Amino acid sequence: MSFPNQNPVGIFDSGVGGLTVFAEVKKLLPDESVFYLGDTARVPYGSKSVDVIRRYSLANVNLLMTLGVKAVVVACNTASAAALSFVQSRFPNLEIIGVIEPVTEYLLTRPELKKIGIIGTNTTVASGAYQNALMKKRNDLTVSAKSCPLFVPLVEEGFFKGEIVEKVIDMYLGEMKRSSLDALVLGCTHYPMLRKAISDYFGGKIEILDTAFYTAKKLAEVLARNSAENRSSACSESDRFFVTDSPDSFRVTAELFLGHKIDNVFHV
């Protein structure tokens, strides 16, 4: 199945976190139209079972397909860990990429980074997706992982810095700080909003890896490989945002994430 080059790219997440991926995609691929789907009625995915996450992810891809997207980004670490291969098998003719493989591929090109930390939701960390992807290719690595469930509500309430944020970071990451990491992977698409606070906590001495940046690069490679880039000089249509709960609530948080006003938010 092929799709016209002018068709939009689809991105889905359990809520607003995937907007960090949206922002990186728009930065790297400004001529692409993007349809973003936030499953805000069923957020968070991080505490749900694998079967439930697969069912939700399948519904999300189905919806984006009806909107005519030419590729899909699973902009959710939990869904990437629990459901990526599942939805790929259901849509063999559609390019679907997640947020885990792009950053682990990058880490495999950096042999000097030997002590890696992974932070994410309960489901992402428990799945071992990052740990397994790294350890099966490099046996010289020390990989530690920690779930940080309070980071998501902090971000969604607009707390990106300050005393509360610093205390929560210390509660979760104190042990990693003492272990002298070389790099830390922000294994949840909400976490880039805390990137500066986390980097400051580590004294700016370790590499902080944002999955959103590497996912956008992977999408660009996939579109180029399939000759599916939008070759016109501008987006063929406006970006759109689809949510399964209140558009107004989503809009407020999304504008915090993106730093500008957004329109075209639709309830589905």
- Other CB atoms within 10 A of residue 79 CB: 29
Of 40, 6, 23, the C-alpha closest to 223 is 6
Q: Are residues 205 and 105 in the same domain?
A: yes
Quick one: pLDDT at residue 162?
A: 96
Q: Is the pLDDT of residue 65 over 80?
A: yes
Q: Are residues 161 and 123 in the same domain?
A: yes
List the domain range (segments joined by +) for residue 87. Answer: 9-99+213-267
What is the 3-class SS of 195-264, one letter each residue? HHHHHHHCCCCCEEEEHHHHHHHHHHHHHHHCCCCCCCCCCCCCCEEEECCCHHHHHHHHHHHHCCCCCC
pLDDT in tens, 161-194: 999 999 999 999 999 999 999 999 999 999 999 9
Instruction: Look over the chain and give the mean of its residue pLDDT values, rounded to a whole number.
Output: 93
Q: Are residues 204 and 217 in the same domain?
A: no
Q: Is the pLDDT of residue 3 over 70?
A: no
pLDDT in tens, 194-248: 999 999 999 999 999 999 999 999 999 999 999 999 987 665 568 999 999 999 9
pLDDT in tens, 36-46: 999 999 988 88
Quick one: pLDDT at residue 47?
A: 83
Quick one: pLDDT at residue 236?
A: 58
Quick one: pLDDT at residue 2?
A: 53
**CB-based burial label for 1 (10 Å; 0-12, 13-18, 19+):** exposed
Using the 8-state DSSP alphabet, how is residue 109 labeled?
T
Quick one: pLDDT at residue 234?
A: 61
Give counts: helices (H), strands (E), the chain.
11, 10
Distances (CA, A) of 158 to 80, 153, 161, 190, 193: 25, 9, 9, 11, 9
Quick one: pLDDT at residue 232?
A: 75
Number of structural domains (the chain) is 2
Q: Of the residues 9, 74, 76, 243, which is catalytic? A: 76
- This prediction's pTM: 0.92
Using the 8-state DSSP alphabet, how is residue 32 labeled?
S
Which residues 6+ apart lie within 8 Å of 191 measured at CB? 119, 120, 148, 151, 155, 198
76 is an active site residue = yes
Question: What's the mean pLDDT in 58-78?
Answer: 96
Residue 1 included in any domain: no
235 is an active site residue = no
Place of tokens 């790297």: 28
Q: Are residues 94 and 159 in the same domain?
A: no
User: Using CA atoms in the order 214, 262, 243, 47, what is the torsion angle rounded to 10 degrees?
Assistant: 50
User: What is the token pair recorded at 220?
Assistant: 């660009």
Assign residue 61 the CATH number of its domain.
Answer: 3.40.50.1860
Q: Of the residues 29, 188, 198, 254, which is catalytic? A: 188
Quick one: pLDDT at residue 233?
A: 63
Q: Are residues 141 and 110 in the same domain?
A: yes
Cα 219 from Cα 74, distance rounded (Å): 11
Residue 3 included in any domain: no
CA angle in degrees (0–180, nearest 5) for 170-175-179:
125
Question: What's the mean pLDDT in 11-24?
Answer: 95
Q: Are residues 30 and 62 in the same domain?
A: yes
Question: What's the mean pLDDT in 95-114?
Answer: 95
Specify the DSSP element, H or E, that contains 103.
helix 101-107
Quick one: pLDDT at residue 235?
A: 58
Q: Are residues 207 and 217 in the same domain?
A: no
